[in-house]
Structure 1
Amino acid sequence: MAVPYDALQVIAVSLLSAALFEAVTWLLFYRTGSYGRQIEQLERMGKKLEEAQDQLAADPNNNAKKKAQQRQERELRNFSITMQGTKFKIGLLTAASMIGGMWLVNKRFKGVVVAKMPFVPPGFITGLTHMGLPGDDMTDVSASFFFATTGPLFRSNLQKLTGSGPTRTAAKFLNVQGLSFDKKAQ
């Protein structure tokens, strides 16, 4: 089965949008020395916390080790909160790029069927897949839905390919405000 030309165009717009977004994000955030230092510090703090957890697991009745682990958790939680500002800015940039790309796709492909699904999607999804399309054939896929599903896929793969964004270790400790670091909870 051949892929419709319009679908290829939407994929190209999605890929270009993701590449442009990653380039801008890299220029504004990931390449800066302060961001690199923050990520390194976050990873160091995470490793210290894991070491404290291991020491506490070896001797669970030692109050000094419990306090050391709690101190490491508190420091990591506080540092993670300070990094939320950068994460928020990146989130705003992501939203702006998605809105810009969606505007472009909606302007160019308004009312154009770019793909056909082999099944009728569940009712709560048909509003998204059939958005802006004429007719009642719910197997038709709009360009908006196609763009919205391929954009994040391309972004995440570009981040992995280019090595931009936080490392896996840093991402593990980036959202730690209310979490317990107890090994049993993980």
Structure 2
Amino acid sequence: MALFSFLYSFRYADSLMVVGISICTAFLCEAISWLLIYRTSTYKSLRSSIDKASKKLDSMKSTSVSSASKKPSSSSSSASLSSSSSSRAKKMDRVETSLKDATRDLSLSKFKSGAVVAAVLFVVFGLLNSLFEGRIVAKLPFAPIPLVLKMSHRGLPGTDPTDCSMVFLYFLCSISIRTNLQKYLGFAPPRGAAGAGLFPMPDPKTS
């Protein structure tokens, strides 16, 4: 209680409290993820497989581009180049398939920690909502567009569009703080898995 009283003495006490709780929550969520996922041999093996497959695929693509830029001097060399390109394309397809499979398995392995993290976030959000319901926690430097205004002014009295609710500030903090924390701790998704998940984008080759 003494800590809360001390924080409330500041002008931006509400803002600092929301940001501080967001930081603590981000560390707690990453600690849970490390305990359930990041330290396991399965995760380390899948991450290593994704990194290796991604690097191999990049190398094969660069080799393919450099080979395609070379003009054959005869029909025999043209046939040889065509056969080499076909073989290289098949190898690339196998590597891409391996990369997609490893990425899918990595996403599935995160379900266990994801459920626990979601529960923690739900409890923290409920606590913050009860503490700051109907209170202005910050002032925006601009009037947001109507779509954003619905969230930034949610549950607040008055019509000032620059008033910021706890929901909006907590949402911004949760995205920025945890993303940067993952990068700092080395827990960010592997480069080859970026944008992938349980519902990856369709392969243009198959369309």
TM range (shorter): 0.7 to 0.9
1:123 alignment partner in structure 2: 146
Change (3 A) 1:120 1:174: closer
1:135 alignment partner in structure 2: 158
Q: CA deviation at 1:104?
A: 1.5
User: Are residues 1:66 and 2:89 paired?
Assistant: yes
- Residue 113 of structure 1: SS of its match in structure 2? coil
Give the length in aligned residue pairs. 179
**1:35-82 Cα distance to aligned partner (Å, 9 max, x none):** 011100111122222232233333343221121112222222222222
**1:93-112 Cα distance to aligned partner (Å, 9 max, x none):** 55434323221110111111
User: Are residues 1:43 and 2:66 paired?
Assistant: no
Asked if structure 1 preserves the Cα contact closer than 8 Å seen for 2:50 and 2:193, the reply is: no
**1:133-166 Cα distance to aligned partner (Å, 9 max, x none):** 1222222111111111111111012112222233
User: Are residues 1:13 and 2:21 paired?
Assistant: yes
State the identity %.
Answer: 31
| Structure 1, unpaired ranges of 5+ | 182-186
- For normalisation by structure 2, the TM-score amounts to 0.75
| Pair member with larger Rg | 2
1:66-85 matches, within 5 Å, as 66-85=89-108
Asked if structure 1 preserves the Cα contact closer than 8 Å seen for 2:15 and 2:137, the reply is: yes
Q: CA deviation at 1:32?
A: 1.1
Asked if structure 2 preserves the Cα contact closer than 8 Å seen for 1:46 and 1:173, the reply is: no
Change (3 A) 1:131 1:172: closer
AA aligned opposite 2:21: V
1:160 alignment partner in structure 2: 183
Asked if structure 1 preserves the Cα contact closer than 8 Å seen for 2:179 and 2:188, the reply is: no
User: Are residues 1:52 and 2:76 paired?
Assistant: no
2:170 alignment partner in structure 1: 147
Larger deviation, residues 52-61 vs 123-132: 52-61
Change (3 A) 1:133 1:173: closer
| Structure 2, unpaired ranges of 5+ | 1-9, 69-81
Q: Distance in 2 between matches of 1:93 and 1:3?
A: 35
- For normalisation by structure 1, the TM-score amounts to 0.82
Q: CA deviation at 1:92?
A: 4.1
Q: CA deviation at 1:124?
A: 1.5
